[in-house]
Amino acid sequence: MHSSNSLNWLSRVPKSVGDINSPAWNADSIYCTGTVKEVVEAYSSQYKKDMENFLNARALELVGGGLLVLVLGGVPNSVTSSQTAIGKDYEILGSCLVDMANKGLISKEKVESFNLPIYYASPNEIEKLIQDNGCFSIVRMETFPGNRKHIYNSQMWTLIVRAGFEAIISNNFGSEMVEELFELYTKKHMDNVSIFSRDDVISLLHLNIVLKRKI
C-alpha cells in the first residue's frame, strides 16, 4: 500500500486556532509557524488524531506482514515551520490576504480566522506516532532535504500554490477575489524570491517511510 504527499493535509483546521476567545487563536498567521505553543499544540493534536485514524484504517486493510509506504513532507527535528522555505512562502501568501483586507476587498476578521489545514511534523514526532499506534513496525525511515529550485520561478510556483489552495481560499473569501489575490501573490513572490536562497532558510524534508503490518 502506498500514500504519497497526502498526509500533511489535516482532516480539518483545529477549531481553537480560528477562535478569537481561544489562547490558540492564530490571528497573525495562516499556518502553524511552530513558534506559538498553543497553536502548535492545537495543530499537533489534530495531526495525531488524523494519523491515528489513518494508520488504524490501513491496518484493517493490510494482512500481517503487508507493507505500507509513506511519502510526506516534514520539518527537521528542532526546527519550526517558520524557518523553512515553505513557511516563508505561506507568510507571503498570508501577507497578500492582509493587503487585500487593508484595501477593503475582503474581511479583516476572516483573514485573522483563516488557517491552512496543513501540518509538517518532525521525524521524531512521526516515529513516536507510529510507535504509539502499535499496528505497524518501522522497516525504514529515510529523510532528505527537498529541492527548492522550482520555487524560484514565481509564475510556475504560483500555479502550484493556486492548485493546492484555490478551493480553500474561495470557500473562505469567495471566488471573486481569487484572480487578484494570485496576481498580487506572483508579484510579491518575485519581489521576495531572494528569501529562499538565504542560508538561514531551511529546506523542508522529504520523508520516505516503510511500515510493516504487525502480525
- Residue-wise pLDDT for 145-201, tens only, equals 987 877 889 999 999 999 999 999 999 999 999 999 999 999 999 999 999 999 999
**Which CATH number applies to 2-213?**
3.40.50
Is the model's pLDDT at 8 over the cut of 80?
yes
Contact criterion met (CB below 8 Å) for 118 and 9:
yes
- Residue-wise pLDDT for 116-136, tens only, equals 999 999 999 999 999 999 999
Domain boundaries, the chain: 2-213
DSSP annotation of 84 reads B
**CA–CA gap between residue 130 and residue 122 (Å, rounded):** 13
Torsions phi, psi for 200 (to 5 deg): -90, 0
**CA–CA gap between residue 38 and residue 26 (Å, rounded):** 9
- Residue-wise pLDDT for 15-39, tens only, equals 999 999 999 999 999 999 999 999 9
